[in-house]
Structure 1
Amino acid sequence: MKDGQEVRRVPTAVIAGVCGLALVAGGGIAWWTANRSPTSTDTNSAAPTTAPALSPSPAQSPAVIIPVPLPTPVPGPLDRTAAQQVPQVQTPAQQTRPQIQTPQVLAPQAIAPKSPQPKPLPENAGQTVQVYWVKDANGKFEGVPTKVAIAQADKPEATLQAAFNSLLAGPKNGTVSSEIPKGTKLRSLSVKNDGVYVDLSSEFTSGGGSTSMTSRLGQVIYTATSLKPNTKVWISVEGKPLELLGGEGLEVAQPSTRQIFDKNFPLR
């Protein structure tokens, strides 16, 4: 009896071991099948979406269902349009990232030049200078200073040139006269550190007697020193220093001053 019982026990143990191995093998196959990535053959095949359970024994192993992912559909034209219209959601990293704006480089524009603003004119746009005429006083000539309005001048040369132009043009007042011959021209006038240089045309020496020569010489000297009475005057005719004036040979000092003239040829 014992031998018979031992014979029956051996097949039972073997069967139990085989069933255990089957369960282990079935579980491994199920795990491997569930974790493997689907291939193009699996997605395009017409196989059923579910696979039958693998079991070594219908009585002892439950059915294992292996999910098979559905094939990813290829987006058509309408799907692409819809995908383009779906708003993109920014990640927190994209939302917090500062946006760097590229500075715009503007093309240089021609800048129009500004027109110069006119300077306000002074209240007295002109000035006056003394010009010396003469008048007959009982057979003798008397010097008569007269203020003449001229244009505003910044330099003494311009002021004296305007004074001589008025002198050579002749008086406008009939109560005074000029002994400088008509047609006399101012060739040049310059103001230097040592005095005033006056150059007249040859008409200055023409005609008249000694009294006329004395009067015209006084007119030139006094008008040339109207800005500074103590200034020295150098007188030339046609570029040559004037030493003798008139036929009687009136001697002219070089340089001349008001004091020298009043001493040699006093006018009333």
Structure 2
Amino acid sequence: MAQLRYQSRRFWGGLVGVALVLGGSGCQPQQTSTETSPSPTASPQPGQTDPEPPVANPELAVYWVAYKDQEQLVLEPTKLPLDNLENATSEEQLVVAFKRLLEGPANTDKTNAIPEKTQLNSLKLQEDGIRIDLSREFTTGGGTKSMQARLGQVVYTASSLNPKEAIWISIDGEPLEVLSGDGLIVSQPMTRKEFDDNFSL
């Protein structure tokens, strides 16, 4: 009888031992791993640097006025070849662009809001921005939309090599402050962002 009790203790003790082993391993709920394989955009390892996105090179361009969806006016660029301007300074390149601008577009689907007789008196690239002096004809003819369009043409063409450039505009040596009889206020200097924020075509 004593031997039977001893064997019974061994039997139940064995079951308890098996239960403890299972309870500490295979019977636990599995945890879902949150680790993933590094993606191409993962953070760089120590000693590495983030790859920089490619930057588009600004190109010399003249901006014309065109119709979008036959209703809205927009400014459209025509890129100018630099074959003969490779050794020219940025100032010399912009002078070429403005002379081309004042000649008018070659394509009939584009137009020029700048009056035909407008002359470029001077263009200077200085530390505080680009200073452009135009003849008095620039302020003549056309309504409010025409005035806004020609102002945009000047600002965008002048900043084609540097979209963040500050543009100063004068008429026969005098700062341009008001354009057209409607009192179109022209801030000085003006950037592309300021033009987009304050005017609509």
Same structural fold, with TM-score higher than 0.5 when normalized by the shorter chain = yes
- Residue matched to 2:64: 133
Instruction: Return the letter of the residue paired with 1:136.
Output: Y
**In 1, Cα distance between equivalents of 2:129 and 2:154:** 14
**In 2, Cα distance between equivalents of 1:211 and 1:139:** 13
Does residue 127 of structure 2 align to residue 199 of structure 1?
no
**In 2, Cα distance between equivalents of 1:203 and 1:259:** 26
2:118 to 171, 184, 191: 184
1:249 to 165, 183, 193: 183
Does residue 75 of structure 2 align to residue 148 of structure 1?
no
Does residue 155 of structure 2 align to residue 221 of structure 1?
yes
Q: CA deviation at 1:193?
A: 1.0
**In 2, Cα distance between equivalents of 1:266 and 1:207:** 19
Tell me which structure has the larger Cα radius of gyration: 1
Long gaps (5+) in structure 1: 1-127
Q: CA deviation at 1:129?
A: 1.9
Does residue 165 of structure 2 align to residue 234 of structure 1?
no
**In 1, Cα distance between equivalents of 2:153 and 2:200:** 12
**In 2, Cα distance between equivalents of 1:136 and 1:207:** 20
Between the two proteins, what is the percent identity of the paired residues?
A: 48
Paired residues for 1:30-45 under 5 Å? none
**In 1, Cα distance between equivalents of 2:117 and 2:72:** 24
Higher relative contact order (CA 8 A, sep 6+): 2
- Residues 78-125 of structure 1: CA deviation (Å, up to 9, x unaligned): xxxxxxxxxxxxxxxxxxxxxxxxxxxxxxxxxxxxxxxxxxxxxxxx
SS of alignment partner, residue 115 of structure 2: coil
